[in-house]
Structure 1
Amino acid sequence: MKDGRTTVYNNELTDKERLDKVNEDNKQLEEDFLEYLSSTDKSKGTIKQYKANLHIFWCWCLEHNKNKFFVEMTKREAIKFQNYALNEWQWSPKRIRTFKATLRSLENYIIKILDDEFPDYKRIWSEIESPADEAVRTKSVLQMEDIQWLLKTLVDKKDYMRSCMLALAIFSGKRKAELTRFKASYFDKENLICDGALYKTPEKMQTKGRGQRGKLLDVYILAKPFQPYLDLWLKQREELGITSDWLFPQYKDGEWLDEHIGISTMDSWARTFNSMLGKIGKVWYFHCARHFFTSYLLEQNLPENVVQSLQGWASSDMVRIYDDRTNESQFEKYFGSEGINQVEKKGLADL
């Protein structure tokens, strides 16, 4: 990991004044490309990200590459851009790889769809080796006592909305964007299954996947550990006069809106959780909750296929990827002074 990285962010790389000066051919290419993506059912999030990336690239071309048309660029100029992003903007290798995926997608569009207009176009972005990957943040492996401390701290402050969100993340293992889309009505008692061990959403939820609707899945939440924090927030919602069915509605200009909170709010909350956990030497980001949920279920001796189903994964390989348990912690469960321990398998009702 590099020390002292100071990343340059998107809002510093583009503005209306520069975008107005972008090569008109690049503007038209972008418009046609994004229209093509929409016609192939790419998600709005993907299209928005591609557009933002292209705006950054066009502005770089304007200032550092003579405002050159994308189709006319050379490998040497592609390397020049990558070097600038890495060393001037201080982008991480991962961000560069993600950014280049937009440019590779654009050049695929040119080759497959615009081959009659640009028959001599050759790939360049697929040919340029990306910088070696590196970790840019410390992986956070949280223990149950860390989670309980953070939840208690929030509850003591009567910060019931954020404590409920944190508990939902931990006991569902859902992604950041997915957490915003839960509804209060999902947590009716009639949606409890397995003798009250799990909430199952009454409708399939949109999760990450191809297409505008992503992948629609049944979603499960460990009911018993989540319930106390849900109850506190539902009671406070009632006191605040919140009528929206979104479990976490937006608050704006003194009013609770019938819209769920956005990613910017989640990012703000993540910074708050991270600052609080920093006091005990731990790190928080929402994705670590997916690792915690998987590891916790495995620690309770649930079979991998059950964990796979709860997470909605197509492959059991994902279970092992998200398992943060150490070999030693697993050995201690199965081996002791008497040799091999007899470990009882648990069911969901035991959690």
Structure 2
Amino acid sequence: MRGRWGVPLPKGRRTVVVTGASGGVGRATARAFAARGDRVALLARGREGLAGAADEVQRAGGEALVVPVDMADAKAVDDAAQRVADVFGHIDVWVNDAFAGVFAPFTEITPDEFRRVTEVTYLGYVFGTRAALRHMLPRDRGTIVQVGSALAYRGIPLQSAYCGAKHAIQGFNESLRCELLHARSGVRTTMVQLPAVNTPQFDWVLSRMPGQARPVAPVYQPEVAARAIVHAASHGRRREYWVGGSTAATLIANAVVPGLLDRYLARTGFDSQQDRGGHGGPPNLWAPVDGPHGRDHGAHGRFDDQSIARSPQDWISRNRGRMGAGLVVGGLGAAVTAGLRRVKAHG
């Protein structure tokens, strides 16, 4: 049986923490958990976005708790987790999604900017995971979902700080997963690798490109990501989920012909990440952009007319047990063939 937003209804109510919940994928994910009737703690900096997210959670059927926090502050993250436990009693699911980014060649990113992206995007996940474990390990239960990206495996130009942080999350999560398995812990960790998503980040990211920042097509709606994250939270034994055919094609092509992909991205990666003319609003690297006189940006960016609302590959990933090994292999083989043809065509 399924509720609103296409997510399965739960057997029991859970307490879920979502970081980066004020906008984009985090916002859509909070809404999807709420549609199951879950209690959702919303962690982010932007107060207008948090207020909007809380309203959506309540209207979707969940219970909301707003906890303003900068994920780069380890003490503040610990305090936020304790606040959730004090109000809701425990934490069942922790979703790490908060991030920051800079769109610019590496040589044009200052050390302070690079450090800030790393502290929010990578260390924010580390601090969030540590805070979650402090509450999950004594109960010997819980699931931590790391929201990743195809860029956790495949670096692209103009996003060196973000790609570096996502690669670091990948390695950190694998190490932690091994430790939990060694301890035979009931706590699970899994990672969801996302494609390009239609979120407001491209309007508030710090950019030094001549055009306005944009995601590399194909672009998916944040609800596609949210469905995968909610599913991963209930199936934490899986080490990883790939969302979107473009993610599968990119990761497999990178494993097979990484050098060819380097040359392809060197040729296409600059133009494909910017629109001609104009720039976004003020960047949110150092402070939220929806301050006391700002606005709530919601989950969607400006690419609704270009975005994909459904992903057959994501459905296969979430239902691979039903599909059978042969069909999965066949689908991945098609993704590999398509990805390699695309790479070679531009090589």
TM range (shorter): under 0.3
Structure with the higher fraction of residues in strand conformation? 2
Q: Which has the higher contact order (CA 8 A, sep 6+)?
A: 2
TM-score by length of 1: 0.27
The structure with the larger Rg is 1
TM-score by length of 2: 0.27
